[in-house]
Amino acid sequence: MRIEVSARELATGEKLRIVKSRFAPEGAGNDQIDGLPRACVVTGIHGDELEGQLAAYELARRLRENPQCLTGVVDIYPAVNSTGIGAIERGIPQFDLDMNRVFPGNNSASPFESMAAELIADVKGAAIAFDIHSSNVFLRELPQIRVNEVSAEDLMPYARRANADFVWVHGNSTVLKGTFAFSANAMGVPTLVVEAGVGLRITPGVGEQLADGMLAVLSDVGIWNGPVPHVRTPIVSSDGEVSFVNADVAGVFVPTVEFCREVQEGQLIGRILDCGNGEVLQELVAPVTGLLFTLREYPIVYPGSLIARVLGGLR
């Protein structure tokens, strides 16, 4: 069932909408639904992040094919920044505004801030929420859950079951307070931030992997009583074990290693090239031995551009 969560009229009469698809136990009336545990799957807050599309499809497909296994409610919001997705824009077209910086929103402010507030109000009361992002267009990421250390105690039981390869527990100082996940967690909805793949693309296998994990968590919170896929045990790490590799020069980056592989300290990760001169401007090496879980995908780099992240301290 499709439900309109929020809508505003655009200049030409079209409605800008946030829509959700609701999956509920067969035959459940509204009164019964209100008393059931609910999960929210939110994706497309950034219009250039599409990995959540296949994850949403895979979850919706399984729920649709097995309605008898639903013991609670699942709301899927597939395209929060719908015009951004259509326009191939990360932010909200017209304003260059990053929607994931305006939460919890404000009902009396601009249309987009008030729509953010209506989304938050709609999610309120859920037993669990997933905020599925891709990486941006610049980086490829191993499927991972990001958890604010402040919420770690509450979220880790879910994060471990979400079938991610990696759970990154962030320091509180690096967490942005205008995000959907921060606001949702702050109002008591345990919310997992999922980062996976790369912007503007759908990586084969990632959607299925995330859908498996969501089903496992739905089972844990009493929303799904069907078969639970086998889920992997994630690596759990804090900021201190993650090392960053940044460019020092401008140029064209070409990797020399494969993504998601173990690298040795000092191993060449890639080169930044001056293509017109046939010259190598910088060679980038792994700062520690560990798992290369982030790798630059977009070749043009500036000084400071993130090239890679390596998770050290692994046995």
Partner 1 sequence: MIQRTVAELALPYRDPFVIQSFSFGIDEAGKPLSDGSDIDSFERSACFIAGLRGDEVQQTFVCARLVARLTEMEQAGLLAPGKLVMVIPCANPASMGIGWRFWPGDKTDINRMFPGYDKGEATQRVAAALFEHVSGYRYGVHFASFYLQGDFLPHVRVMHGPGSDGNNGADFGLPFVLHHVPGSFDTTTLHYNWRLWDTEAYSLYTKETELVDEESAENIVRSVLRFLNARGIVNWPDHRGYRSTQLGESVLVAVQTSTGGIFCPHVQLGDVIRKGHALASIVDPLNGSVKETLHAPCDGAVFYKARTPLVNEQTLAFQIVPPNVDDTSGSGIRGNFLDPEA
User: Residue 68 CB, nearest distance to partner 1 (Å)?
Assistant: 41
Burial of 137 (0-12, 13-18, 19+ CB in 10 A): middle
- For residue 208, what is the enclosing H or E element? helix 206-220
Closer CB to partner 1, residue 86 or residue 244? 244
By CB under 8 A, name the binding residues for partner 1: 8-13, 16, 90-91, 94-97, 101-102, 108-111, 114, 136, 138, 176-178, 186, 244, 246, 249-252, 300-306
Nearest residue (CB) to partner 1, 32 versus 94: 94
How many other CB atoms sit within 10 Å of the CB of residue 37? 16
N-terminal to C-terminal alpha carbon distance within the chain:
47
DSSP state of 5: E
Q: How far is the CB of 134 from partner 1 (least distance, A)?
A: 15
Which amino acid does the sequence have at 145? Answer: I
The tokens for 296 are: 């630059």
For partner 1, give the closer residue by CB, 15 or 261: 15
Contacts by residues 115-122 (CB-CB < 8 Å, ≥ 24 positions apart): 115/6, 115/8, 115/16, 115/18, 116/180, 118/5, 118/6, 118/18, 119/5, 119/6, 119/18, 119/42, 119/77, 119/80, 119/180, 120/180, 120/183, 120/184, 120/187, 122/5, 122/6, 122/20, 122/40, 122/75
Rounded-to-integer distance, Cα 272 and Cα 114, Å? 44
Considering the complex, state which of residue 210 and residue 301 has its C-beta at the smaller distance from partner 1.
Answer: 301
Q: How many residues are given for the chain?
A: 315
Minimum CB distance to partner 1, residue 224 (Å): 34
Q: Toward partner 1, which CB reaches closer, 66 or 110? A: 110
Shortest approach of partner 1 to residue 108 CB, angstroms? 7
Q: In angstroms, what is the minimal distance from the CB of 33 to partner 1?
A: 29
Q: Which is nearer to partner 1, 90 or 309 (CB)?
A: 90
- Minimum Å gap between C-beta 196 and partner 1 is 20
For partner 1, the closer CB: 38 or 90: 90
Q: How far is the CB of 101 from partner 1 (least distance, A)?
A: 6
> What is d(CA 310, CA 290) in angstroms, rounded to the nearest whole number?
6
Name which of 93 and 229 has its Cβ closer to partner 1. Answer: 93
CA 196 to each of CA 111, 122, 144: distance values in angstroms, whole numbers, following the listed order: 29, 25, 6
Minimum distance, C-beta of residue 177 to partner 1, in the bound complex (Å):
4
Q: Report d(CA 32, CA 28) in Å as an integer.
A: 6
